[in-house]
Structure 1
């Protein structure tokens, strides 16, 4: 991204909470915390000070299929930050005393999430639709699971998942491709892993002494790791979608509603049709749901479509927050608008408006180095083509009004689930 003085770099691990068992639940998120607690050459305070010194944004995220450690910094700080991230990921000490202190911090974090009705709603929906599958569990597990999670369990998780070919380094910003590769070389050597060529060939020490590490780059691939092969070691079983209704009663003012069905998996061939349909139905202030539920009838403040996508499945949902008295009307109206989109082909004018909205958001989003870094990594991990912004726009423009109606009907015909969080209310699936 010529002209930028900053760079966003991330080390991604193709492993998340989905890759845990009931006994190891919480290990992925716990490990994300622990990697900031010290390596053989840096203690926790040194790591924190090194990130703060850049004046940028540094953090980590744990998801159901991915973990990422990232930093946005000045290009001049990138060599130090690259070395720091590689050291954290490859040489974490996982000290037992730090582990016990962090256990309390994570329990507090989970307690904070439990106080957020939105977090509870989305966790409840996943629990409802995925049943006994590992995707049903919250990313951070439960407080009871964290209280009994063993130190050795997290170490085992670290040694079994933070290994090639699950690891990808992605970067976007003002540094050149060659500069980033040189920085990665230096960071690997500093961390005691050998040169990039040594590590890829298996001649170096490797991460935890376990073979080559894949380094994703701005040219879209790793030297010895086939694109999309990073999930090859993940023993993942596709879940069956479970229909039904769940209600967590909370003494709050609004009732959170999430109505949905099985959606599309990551990289599905119809993902551009899916995006257009999501946006048309509930993707902004001009969307059908927003206009019908909020503007015309005043039944809710917030109403929109949501989607999650995984390697082999996904969920589609309609979210709304309203009073308990309005809940059934909101659910009925949401299904009615969904059905109308399935039954009546939208006008070319409406389709053109949505295509314009999506095209603009795509291009604007790609002006962010963090978004570019994220896109590079996900393309590498999931084996998706890395298309140019103009190619993406053309894919969106190729969607027809008939495609949108067909997609809405396809989803509408699937079994549905309804999750509710808030005051007691009688709400049924239409």
Structure 2
């Protein structure tokens, strides 16, 4: 039976749970000829055991490598011939395989995605070939100082915890990952209530449900998820609340710039204060008019890129400031970041400044929802996290209700916490600024 979650001028959101627990959630937007769809798996790198490190991301690659009835080339042709776009993403708490297509092509595209996800052969010869590809992908990321910096920061902030592990694991771990371990991870994660099908666009919910029901018939997706004891232990470990770890991690590299992230514990998804958190983040470093951009780039010319960064997970989050600058300017940049953080905690911003930020966020919300991809991601994340699904009108009202004094008080709370500093570049002697 279908459940109506919301209905308005913008779209109609409905949900159905099929036998075995697989969930379908759709947003129907009348008049659209396109559809964005995704098969979501509620398993990410955080849910891996140590021996299975990297298997979630490896599976993302392998599911494009053939099924019982399709070769890798067949999969690529089937996804590209519709004229839309398709890809996959592995994150710390989920994996998604998605495509954008015409509504008239939805049945074929959906069938292809389900074929990949549920009937992958996981051929061992393909596995060995792809091992080299993934090692090269990780090497490419390691060569990018900014990628390395963000990875270092999360490893520092969640030290020795599943949430701190790199999504793709390390090259050493990929080189020793066994095919049998990958297959076991696939059998554990890709079944039953661990799967969500999300769709946003012109197709009706009934149409999508009918198609998905046909696509998964006779597969293990209609059976409840039966995790192994090892998988259950790993899942329990992954759900242990993540704790922030302060400290300093500096990776010395012969680069032209010094990359810096100064950060602290943020908020998890769905937290009551998330709208205050978001407004504060954008006021400090969310665009060209933000305080950090104006102070560090426009007034002092010390950095091309400076911005706040947020990470949000089911039970934890991170708040940070990123800057890329000349190594000799690093101390001055950190001093200016410190000044701006202390300034907003000392004195609430003016109403006009807050109104500018709120208008920016409200406009971005409305413009974002004109994308079926944004809509599909939003309803899927709701289904995976159980965070209440708010309409665009409610989201905007919540943002507009944020007051200058709430922003100041939230900044005071952030500064009362312990902080961490990660850096990549020639300077190996960066000190942690005092933020109290």
Q: Normalising to structure 1: TM-score of the pair?
A: 0.90
Q: Is the 8 A contact 1:325 1:425 kept in 2?
A: no
Number of the residue aligned with 1:405? 408
Moved over 4 A (4+): 231-235
Number of the residue aligned with 1:121? 149
Give CA deviations for 1:155-182 in whole Å, capped at 9, x if unaligned.
Answer: 0101111122111100001212222122
The alignment's C-alpha RMSD in Å is 1.6
* Partner-residue secondary structure (3-state), 2:92: coil
In structure 2, relative to structure 1, the CA distance for the partners of 1:235 and 1:316 (3 Å cut) is closer
How much does 1:398 deviate?
A: 1.1
* Partner-residue secondary structure (3-state), 1:73: strand
1:145 and 2:138 matched: no
Give CA deviations for 1:290-309 in whole Å, capped at 9, x if unaligned.
Answer: 01111111111110000101
Q: Is the 8 A contact 2:270 2:388 kept in 1?
A: no
1:13 and 2:41 matched: yes
Give CA deviations for 1:210-257 in whole Å, capped at 9, x if unaligned.
Answer: 4279xxxxxxxxxxxxxxxxx997851122211111111111101100
1:273 and 2:273 matched: no
Distance in 2 of aligned mates of 1:425 and 1:332: 17
How much does 1:3 deviate?
A: 2.4
Number of the residue aligned with 2:3? none
Number of the residue aligned with 1:4? 32
Number of the residue aligned with 2:210? 182
Distance in 1 of aligned mates of 2:168 and 2:46: 11
1:86 and 2:97 matched: no
Q: Is the 8 A contact 2:256 2:326 kept in 1?
A: yes
Number of the residue aligned with 1:263? 266
1:211 and 2:228 matched: no
How much does 1:319 deviate?
A: 0.2
Q: Is the 8 A contact 1:265 1:309 kept in 2?
A: yes
Distance in 2 of aligned mates of 1:328 and 1:36: 47
Q: Is the 8 A contact 1:59 1:70 kept in 2?
A: yes
Number of the residue aligned with 2:423? 420
Distance in 2 of aligned mates of 1:316 and 1:21: 27
1:284 and 2:312 matched: no
Distance in 2 of aligned mates of 1:102 and 1:421: 30
Aligned pair count reads 398
Number of the residue aligned with 2:299? 296
How much does 1:4 deviate?
A: 2.0
Number of the residue aligned with 1:226? none
How much does 1:76 deviate?
A: 1.2
More strand by share: 2
Trace 1:52-201 onto structure 2 (pairs within 5 A): 52-189=80-217, 192-193=218-219
Q: Is the 8 A contact 2:421 2:432 kept in 1?
A: yes
Q: Is the 8 A contact 2:99 2:109 kept in 1?
A: yes
Q: Is the 8 A contact 2:163 2:238 kept in 1?
A: no
* Partner-residue secondary structure (3-state), 2:192: coil
Q: Normalising to structure 2: TM-score of the pair?
A: 0.89
* Partner-residue secondary structure (3-state), 1:371: helix
Gaps of 5+ in 2: 1-28, 227-233
Give CA deviations for 1:278-337 in whole Å, capped at 9, x if unaligned.
Answer: 000110000010011111111111100001011111110100000011101111111110
Q: Is the 8 A contact 1:328 1:426 kept in 2?
A: no
1:29 and 2:32 matched: no
Q: Is the 8 A contact 2:188 2:225 kept in 1?
A: no
Gaps of 5+ in 1: 194-205, 214-230
Q: Is the 8 A contact 2:351 2:404 kept in 1?
A: yes
Number of the residue aligned with 1:225? none
Distance in 1 of aligned mates of 2:282 and 2:130: 40
1:373 and 2:401 matched: no
- 1:323 pairs, out of 323, 326, 332, with 326
Number of the residue aligned with 1:218? none
Q: Is the 8 A contact 2:189 2:225 kept in 1?
A: no
Trace 1:38-49 onto structure 2 (pairs within 5 A): 38-49=66-77
* Partner-residue secondary structure (3-state), 2:114: helix
How much does 1:25 deviate?
A: 0.5
